[in-house]
Structure 1
Amino acid sequence: MQLKELSARSGMSAASIKFYLREGLLPAGSTAASPRADYTQAHLRRLELIKVLRRVVELGLDRIKAITDGIDDPLLGDVELMGRVQGTVLGLAEGPVPDHPLMAGLVGSGRWVDAPSRARNSLNLLLHRMDELGVPADADVLSAYADAVDQVAALDVGSAERARSRDDMVKTVAVGTHLYSDLLLKMLAVAQASRAMRG
């Protein structure tokens, strides 16, 4: 398909598509068959991803570019790419954070893989912050939360792994991280209120 059709099918203006091409968020079309560039379903998927990252997840172009660069990097594995997306969407801590004592009950020993990540850094940071504020996490509560979120994580990762392309996988992870984490918090609030009302 050519630019006019790509614009019509994606719902984006030709000017926006040309901008994304110039900025490197969208790969160039093929010019092998004609002097005009031809575009594929992969270009449609990328434009849909950009649209979702801008409108739903509300990321700026610099952060979207970091994500699309990761998609296009053949040396970046899917797990690392998912971590990059998660970290970008949630604004997770990049630098290492010393392990909080309660982390020993969460990583290793058959629960979660004991590996450095931005997610782990951020969890450590939050646990230390809770201590500083005088509202330390309880080990039993943390264990119950871990069991519950592990089931949710299994569903989320399963959805991402079934994606047809890396663009679709990133869209699933970004939307899941952004919207479903909020959904989980809202559902928890309803459940807590319900239990309190039941006495």
Structure 2
Amino acid sequence: MQLKDLSGHTGVSAASIKYYLREGLLPAGETVHATRAQYSARHVERLGLIQALRRIVGLNIEQIRGILKMADDGAPRLDLLAAVQRVVLHLDSHAQAGVDAGTPPADAVVRLRNWPDYPSDARNALNAHLELMESLNIPVSGEVMDTYSKAMDDVARVDIAATTAPESVDQLILTAAVGMHMHSQLLLKLLALGQASHAIRRYEQGA
């Protein structure tokens, strides 16, 4: 298909498509002659991914470029998923916070849940958050950590099973990024509803 057909098929303006081509987010089409190129289903898929990352997840062009470059360079899927998680869940700041992966809070959770003893930005972020809570005198008991981490282990197992299913790398990124963004919001909303429900029961019973 030509550029105008690609635009009509995806709903992305020709100007935006040209911008994504210039920015390296979208691979060049197959040259037909000096002023015309042909585009394929691969371009349709990539445009859908770019639009989802921008409109649903809220990533900027630089963040999208970083993820897509890793994909186009053939990065291992584990590294790609880690990069998506880092950007979508805003772990970037914690990754540079100087928190070591082997500190006691993370070690305790890893042992408790029998998770792989492997460094990650997610582990650094957990350490940083627990240290912040401690500095604010908000204790996290062993019972709380056990309950929370068990619930998250069950959720994560379901999430990763769905995330790693697509064969296409673009679909993998789409599933991971949109899933992480929307599921994290879903968890927060469910937690809010649960907290509200328990509060209603307690205060109604006490009335």
User: What's the TM-score bracket when you normalise by the shorter of the two chains?
Assistant: over 0.9
Deviations 1:129-168 (A, max 9, x none): 0000000211111111111111111111111111241111
Tell me which amino acid in the other structure corresponds to 2:99: V
- 8 Å CA contact 2:113–2:149 kept in 1: the answer is no
Q: Distance in 2 between matches of 1:38 and 1:164?
A: 24
Identity level (%): 45
Output the TM-score relative to the length of structure 2. Answer: 0.89
Comparing 123-132 and 109-118, the one that deviates more: 109-118
Comparing 186-195 and 100-109, the one that deviates more: 100-109
Output the TM-score relative to the length of structure 1. Answer: 0.92
Which runs of structure 2 are paired with 1:54-73 in the superposition (5 Å)? 54-73=54-73
What is the Cα-based RMSD across aligned positions, in Å?
1.5
Q: Distance in 2 between matches of 1:136 and 1:109?
A: 18
In structure 2, the partner of 1:50 is: 50
Q: Following TM superposition, where does structure 1 have runs of at least 4 consecutive aligned residues deviating by more than 3 angstroms?
A: none
In structure 2, the partner of 1:144 is: 147
Tell me which amino acid in the other structure corresponds to 2:64: I
How much does 1:80 deviate? 0.6
Q: Distance in 1 between matches of 2:198 and 2:162?
A: 31
Q: Distance in 1 between matches of 2:43 and 2:111?
A: 41
Deviations 1:71-115 (A, max 9, x none): 1111x1111101101101122122351344232231146621111
Matching of residue 97 in structure 1 with residue 99 in structure 2: yes
Where 2:183 maps in the other structure, the secondary structure is: helix
Could you list the runs of 5+ residues in structure 2 that have no partner in the other structure?
Answer: 203-207
How much does 1:28 deviate? 0.8
In structure 1, the partner of 2:125 is: 122
- 8 Å CA contact 1:102–1:139 kept in 2: the answer is no
1:154 equivalent among 154, 157, 177: 157
Could you list the runs of 5+ residues in structure 1 that have no partner in the other structure?
Answer: none
Q: Distance in 1 between matches of 2:151 and 2:17?
A: 42
Tell me which amino acid in the other structure corresponds to 1:89: V
